[in-house]
Chains A and B, each alone.
Chain A
Amino acid sequence: MSTPLLEAEGLIKAWGGVRAVDGVSFALAPGEMLALIGPNGAGKSTCFNMLNGQIRPDAGRVRLGGRDITGLPPRAVWRLGVGRTFQVTATFGSMSVRENVRAALLSHHRRLLGLWRPAARLHTAEAEALLDRVGMLAQADRPCAVLAYGDLKRLELAMALAHSPRLLLMDEPTAGMAPAERGALMQQTAAIAREAGIAVLFTEHDMDVVFGHADRVLVLERGRLIAAGAPEEVRADPRVRQVYLGGGRF
């Protein structure tokens, strides 16, 4: 394998004595789709938030394309080409769909301090192209406060694509969506990612989504990685079956 795009090395984070993430190491190749799964409370979100700088790890390093990015704030990680969507969508409620994407584009082009030219005239075509890619162009003028949840997820995706990222971090991309919609959204995401050569790291509860799209799967349990490999291997792993199909945990 050539230089990995993203490398986590011995990540540790404790919340008041409990190690939510306890020595997690893995690597992600350029263009790869990697799923991070595990039961509730396994430490997926904590792990995720350490990767883009939202949480500072107690120990361990995160490297992006060989460069140490541990401790950088999320906005700096974003500048290095890492897009992000959230488990509970975070968008700008007072803006239209187009303005949301426009804000991301203006930030990418470092034009946010402009005081003069109306924003409405900047990067419109670019914003609409992005919305088209995620199938949201028809809703460009709608206030994002009235969007259906699935559409908000698509909007987040469009915003995450605004700076042509190398890596997308998607925390439960299909949480809160109807089963039929989930497949469609993941299909779309995967198509976009493969087309642009973007690597995707996502956490997910829906096993159909995971095994349908991931190149590789990491399994986290009580803060530790207990399995890693191709979907079929992981599915057959007795420890994974133990964790998911019951053991002493309940």
Chain B
Amino acid sequence: MKQEEINEQGRRDFLKTAAIATIAATACGSLACSCSSKKAATGDKVKLLSPEGEIVEIDSSYLNHQEHMAIVSKLEAREGIAGKKFVMVVDLARCKNARKCISACQKWHYRPEETEWLTVKLLKDSDKAAPYWFPKQCFHCDNPPCVKVCPVDATFKRQDGLVLIDNNRCIGCKFCMAACPYSTRVFNWDEPELSLDIRDLAYNPETGIPAKVGTVEKCDFCPDRAREGLLPPCVEACPNGVFYFGDENEDAVCNGEETVSFTQLIKDKGGYRYMEELGTKPRVYYLPPKDRQFPVERGYEDLDSNLKKRFESVMEPDKQKD
């Protein structure tokens, strides 16, 4: 499809979702906080396409900026952002399991506490090796085993490198979950609890909101934010600048504090991809935990007991044996 057509389609879809969101908001007041505060009419009229396909004119004061609103068409969400090749670099030397990335991710994606799209593991590669914290999100592989096995094209690889899921298409066979060697994907086993402000949002694979029971979901590298030039919340929230996110084509990655050359960073710090031998070609690179900024215990001592249990077998192997 030609670019203009995509844009045209995108514009229409945008207008449509905007109209739906606004009309829903004004009519039934489901977005309680955003529309209860009555604004004075500005006099500016905006033309919108109603769900019935009619052009309606409403006052611009009724329009609210809504986060997580689908700003692209389904088709564009499948194609990806032209010219981009997203990449992430995780500096293991900087991680102290502060878990700010997790909470930011959970908050942004409205995830319940238990299901984490982004997790931090405590890895210990061999008996004598030193343990290290290992943040892990979706690797957005260039040869994704999950995409290969999806029977309905619900999970797909985009030209900008992202692997996304369309939860309107997903039949919930979980084949992708069995196929992902990194156990990245999570399933909505029960009806997800959705807060009022996202319940009625128009779904788009780029936002992943709202979640649906019986479908698969995972870390999406926040493409809706990338479109607006924003970093993913995990990158922003990290107090130590562990995550660098950027564009391989531009050869620039940013951790919120500094923007550096991707190739230089990988070259200088010995970047590698996790389990390269599987041939999945991840788009996430790791920098080895050399010259660490924090002792590994720093991420363990202050955890609450339930979280501590996760890492007990690595941190206190003797205790486990008893």
Q: Do A and B bind each other?
A: no
Interface residues of B (CB under 8 A from A): none
Q: Which residues of A contact B (CB under 8 A)?
A: none
